[in-house]
Amino acid sequence: MDFQFLINLGASGVLGVIGYFVRENKQEMKEIREGLAAFRLKAAEEYVTSADLKKIEDYLIRIEALLHTKADK
């Protein structure tokens, strides 16, 4: 066998292994992106927004002020 043939065979083997891992990582990244998109949708549906949190904080401040006026009487 020729020395150049062995080099080509080794290089094609190494590149084949590298290509396999790149393809697997690409598929895994696609799955991670899909999972992240699903999580963002779920979080947007179930959790309180900052505007809602501000409204709740305002209500609590008003209740606290009313309790302080009642306690002073």
DSSP annotation of 36 reads H
**Reported confidence tier of residue 44, pLDDT bands at 50, 70, 90:** confident
For the chain, the domains span 3-72
Residue recorded with tokens 């959790």 = 47
Task: For residue 49, name the pLDDT band (cuts at 50, 70, 90).
Answer: confident
pLDDT at 73: 60
pLDDT exceeds cutoff 90 at 18: yes
- Report the distance separating Cα 55 and Cα 39, nearest Å: 25
What are 22-41's pLDDT values in tens digits?
A: 999 999 999 999 999 999 88
Q: What is the pTM of this model?
A: 0.48
